[in-house]
């Protein structure tokens, strides 16, 4: 059932103090990727959530870089396409961009101008919600493209940083909370 799947996911997340900067407790998802059953559990739980909470999904939109690990797998399950939001300067052709703050720095995110059409219904996916700067930027990019954001999904939510508030009014579904 979902509880044991959640336990399996939980068991495959490690914490590293003071990475990449002093004072940050880094939640490492590499053990999930390394374990076939844990990775399947993540995608199963995301898929169940989408099938229960969202009707028509046109595209999964994933964030550079760790959103790329889960996004395409979920998109395949749902039978929809995957779109990349990348850090500045990585995408060819015409792009739309937005700058944002991170738990440990600043960055700029971009999407190809023709990646999403006006009115398309998208779900945004990443590995982790910290301050919410990254997901907020992704929602901004989708707004600029006139796409409809159905919601956001992450493996891990860091509750004390209140990222949920930053992403409002969009919802953030998470599997594991700290
Ligand atoms: C991390 C993480 C999220 C983001 C969350 O990515 O994978 O994308 O930070 O933080 P926020 O909620 O405060 O915005 P990072 O920018 O470190 O890049 P990476 O995936 O390339 O390591
Ligand atoms: N991205 C932002 N904050 C993070 C954290 N504490 N662990 C892993 N990735 C992060």
Q: How many domains does the chain have?
A: 1
Q: Are 9 and 155 in contact (CB under 8 A)?
A: yes
In tens, the pLDDT along 22-49 reads: 999 999 999 999 999 999 999 999 999 9
To test the ligand 1 pocket, which listed residue (27, 30, 106, 130) has its Cβ within 8 A of the most ligand atoms? 130
In tens, the pLDDT along 67-96 reads: 999 999 999 999 999 999 999 999 999 999
CATH number assigned to the domain comprising residue 68: 3.40.50.2020
In this prediction, residue 113 carries a pLDDT of 98
In this prediction, residue 91 carries a pLDDT of 98
In tens, the pLDDT along 91-147 reads: 999 999 999 988 777 899 999 999 999 999 999 999 999 999 999 999 999 999 999
Which of these, 15, 19, 38, lies nearest to 175 by C-alpha position? 38
In this prediction, residue 38 carries a pLDDT of 98
In this prediction, residue 47 carries a pLDDT of 98
CA of 56 to the centre of ligand 2 (A): 31
pTM more than 0.95: yes
In this prediction, residue 3 carries a pLDDT of 77
In this prediction, residue 106 carries a pLDDT of 87
**What is the signed CA dihedral for 140, 141, 147, 150, rounded to 10 degrees?**
-60
User: Residue 46 is part of which domain span?
Assistant: 2-177
Give 154's pLDDT tier (boundaries 50, 70, 90): very high
Please tell me the residue having the least CA distance from ligand 1 atom 16.
102
- Backbone φ and ψ of 176, nearest 5°: -130, 135
CA of 128 to the centre of ligand 2 (A): 7
Q: Which residues pair with 126 in a beta bridge?
A: 154
């Amino acid at each position: 059932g979902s509880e044991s799947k959640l336990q399996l996911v939980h068991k495959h997340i490690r914490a590293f103090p003071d990475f990449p900067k002093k004072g940050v407790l880094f939640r490492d998802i590499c053990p999930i990727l390394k374990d076939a059953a844990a990775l399947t559990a993540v995608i199963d739980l995301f898929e169940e959530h989408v099938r229960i909470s969202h009707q028509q999904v046109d595209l999964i939109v994933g964030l550079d870089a760790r959103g790329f690990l889960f996004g395409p797998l979920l998109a395949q399950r749902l039978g929809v396409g995957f779109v990349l939001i990348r850090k500045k300067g990585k995408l060819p052709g015409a792009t739309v961009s937005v700058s944002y703050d991170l738990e440990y720095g600043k960055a700029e995110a971009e999407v190809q101008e023709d990646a999403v059409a006006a009115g398309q219904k998208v779900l945004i996916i990443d590995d982790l919600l910290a301050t919410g700067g990254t997901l907020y930027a992704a929602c901004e990019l989708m707004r600029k493209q006139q796409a409809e954001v159905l919601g956001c999904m992450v493996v891990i939510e860091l509750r004390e940083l209140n990222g949920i508030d930053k992403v409002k009014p969009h919802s953030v579904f998470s599997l594991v909370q700290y």
